[in-house]
Chains A and B, each alone.
Chain A
Amino acid sequence: MQFAANAAPPRNMADLAVRRAIALYAAQTWGVAAAEIQKLAHDPLELVTRAVQPVLWLLLFGEVMAQIRGVAPGNLRYLDFLAAGILAQSCLFVAIFYGISAIWERDLGVLQRYLVSPAPRSALVMGKALSAGVRALSQAVIVYLLAVILHVGIRFNPLAMIGVVGVIILGSALFSTFSLIIACIVKTRERFMGIGQVLTMPVFFASNAIYPLSLMPAWLRAISRANPLTYEVDALRDLMLAAGRTEYGLLADFGILLGATLMLTAIAGRMYGRMGF
């Protein structure tokens, strides 16, 4: 936007209008995300309490399951295998919380304020999704710390770690938007609690988060292949672990996560306005 004032005029007015529209859309999306991050900064305790779950999974479930041989594929230790799955899981749980928070904002009246603003609904949804990603990053810090303590073979390559950040933001955006769509349908907290539980568990168990697809019966494997969480975990295993290898290829993983996120954002953008009814 700055260039218009002092640089040479752009080639045509349409070009300028498009740039302005994109800058505005980005500012609106960022505004929503920034507000969520500010809230987190005012009350960071939430992040600590959220850390309990991954700790339990890795310490209790992980240590016991590690005794069984042949769960993790190849030469991967089970705890290494599990660490990436638990990182994806804690991001999933952060993201699923966004539906309840949207219903909460609706009951409070804060949501109506978003909806009477000229910001496109999809920008509002994307802002929320982005903030889910930032929230989930704090989980990554905790899981990484824990993984180091448990001697998980972490891949400390800076590029790979940037990749992890990307996967976490995308995956969290995907599932928070999914959660938002559910919230738009059920509209009350009570109903969401019931459905949220019913949906989170299958998404988690019908994936490669805690065991490989090769151990599954064919029908469950088919469901897991259609589950975006599987691709999130697959990418994380490759990028997070020194000994981890992607099964589907990073390009496919990122492509599927990005495609699903954009599709769900488009759907949520259409439905979000109905929360104002």
Chain B
Amino acid sequence: MLMPDALSSETVVEVRDLTRRFGDLVAVDQVSLTVGRSEIFGLMGPNGAGKSTLIRMLTTLLPPTSGAATVAGYDVVRQPAEVRRQLGYVPQLLSADGSLTGYENLLLSARLYGIPRKERAERIARALARMDLAGAANHLVAHYSGGMIRRLEIAQSLLHRPKVLFLDEPTVGLDPAAREIVWHRLLDLRESFQTTMIVTTHRMDEIDEYCHRVALIDRGRIVATGTPAELKAGIGPGATLDDVFIRLVGAHDDHETEGEYGAVRRERRAAQKHG
């Protein structure tokens, strides 16, 4: 039996000098980090800092300009198909299809991930039960609440039992009760399967409570990394993560980035749908 907080030293995600440019803009600038098995790793930083771009490179959606990264030992550029088999991804946007039922969404995932026909029904039923969605399995997702949609998305990204789960703002637009349910389900999964999780969030309280380590990203670079306690201690006694954020990133919100208008629009639309 693994202790709930036992972190093994096995490296699951390794990032070396990863860089992505969009024209003149350097969205991710020589980022390096390692994340171990069953670790919950937080990514925080202002809008447009490069968190989502970093995740899109690690999930093989976007090729890096330079640098390298491995997920579960596979190279994201040279072995994208193997990487995809090892990861689950809950994007900031909606990934569950509203015009299908919860069950149909999971069936689609099961087929895409090549889960053998004999195992499909059982795995889907278990995933639904685990996420408290068994009763709503045959309802259209368009009628789900924001919290239910998130839990369904977690279920569909876990059917194939990935080694690493990427979550891009998993609790955006959710009320406190729904947020807590989502996090408790995630902790549950980690305990059962030792799933590594990489999570972006704007909520300092979530980082404090749930992340083992966190990287603060600003303008594409990692400006600090460590446990939440270490980051706070680095600022001074009694400091909060808000203080860390403000001290290290500053109050600049005047940087122009490519496509942030679109990102904000999508984010708000996603938040609206989830809420």
Contact = CB atoms under 8 A, between A and B. Distances in A.
Contacts of A250: none
Contacts of B60: 115-116
Interface stretch (A26-34, A150-158, A210-218, A222-230): A26-34
A126 to B, nearest CB: 13
Given A39-B97, A42-B99, A113-B91, A28 B111 contact: yes
B275 to A, nearest CB: 15
B7 interface: no
Contacts of B266: 107
Contacts of A110: 94-97
A-B pairs, 10 with minimum CB distance? A109-B93, A31-B111, A276-B61, A113-B95, A117-B112, A118-B84, A116-B89, A35-B108, A39-B99, A118-B85
Interface of A: 1, 24, 27-28, 30-32, 34-35, 38-39, 42-43, 107-110, 112-120, 276-277
Q: Which of B81, B84, B108, B113 has the most CB of A within 10 A?
A: B108
Task: Bin the interface of chain B by size.
Answer: 35 or more
B114 A24 contact: yes
Interface string B62-89: 1000000000000000000100110101
Given A110-B96, A118-B81, 13 more contacts: A27-B111, A34-B111, A35-B104, A39-B99, A42-B100, A109-B95, A112-B95, A113-B95, A114-B112, A116-B84, A119-B112, A120-B81, A277-B61
Contacts, number: 86
Contacts of B93: 107-109, 112
A39 B100 contact: yes
Interface string B33-57: 0000000000000000000000010
A27 B117 CA distance: 9
A42 B113 CA distance: 24
Contacts of A31: 107-108, 110-112
B225 interface: no
A151 to B, nearest CB: 39
Contacts of A30: 111
Q: Which of A32, A34, A35, A117 has the most CB of B within 10 A?
A: A117
B92 A109 contact: yes
Contact of B112 (A39, A107, A118): A118
A120 to B, nearest CB: 8
B189 interface: no
Contacts of A24: 114
Contacts of B117: 27
B109 interface: yes
Nearest to B82: A118
B20 to A, nearest CB: 10
A117 B62 contact: no
B196 interface: no
B59 interface: yes
A116 B91 CA distance: 10
A39 B100 CA distance: 6
B235 interface: no
B18 to A, nearest CB: 16
A132 B96 CA distance: 21
18 contacts: A27-B111, A31-B107, A35-B107, A38-B104, A39-B97, A42-B101, A107-B266, A109-B92, A109-B270, A110-B96, A112-B93, A113-B95, A115-B60, A116-B61, A118-B84, A118-B85, A118-B112, A119-B112
Nearest to A124: B112
A117 B99 contact: no
A47 to B, nearest CB: 14
Nearest to B162: A116
A113 B117 CA distance: 21
Interface string B243-275: 000000000000000000000001000100000
